Structure 1
């Protein structure tokens, strides 16, 4: 009796191609995951390139005297804030 039930289950699974469908679902999941990963990696790489490009532009257009002046003003402000008693 148990063998006949298990044979019917196996035959039904085989006739409905359950194993093949399961394998196809797994393969689709991994292909979709790979595609999503590649898209995310490409996007991240593009963002990184844009970030580096912006940094290069910032460095090329910087004025050393202006930067030193800002540093000096920031130090003065820091000293002023530290001198305030609470």
Structure 2
């Protein structure tokens, strides 16, 4: 996370023991944690996914309707 986006709280060696790493940080999208996890073969999920899923849930909660998921995801990715 800014301003220390080149650092990770978890060592690359420790990541080898996991199947999945989910980083809730969405800027930068590809954090050092996610980069290092991918380098050791771990499946990664970025904070952008969490951001989009929260927005979809909030839209549904407040409107009782379905949000345009593809459109919302595109907008978020363009911004972050």
Normalised TM-score (structure 2): 0.29
TM-score by length of 1: 0.27
Structure with more of its chain in strand, by fraction: 2
Relative to its length, the structure with more helix (as a share) is: 1
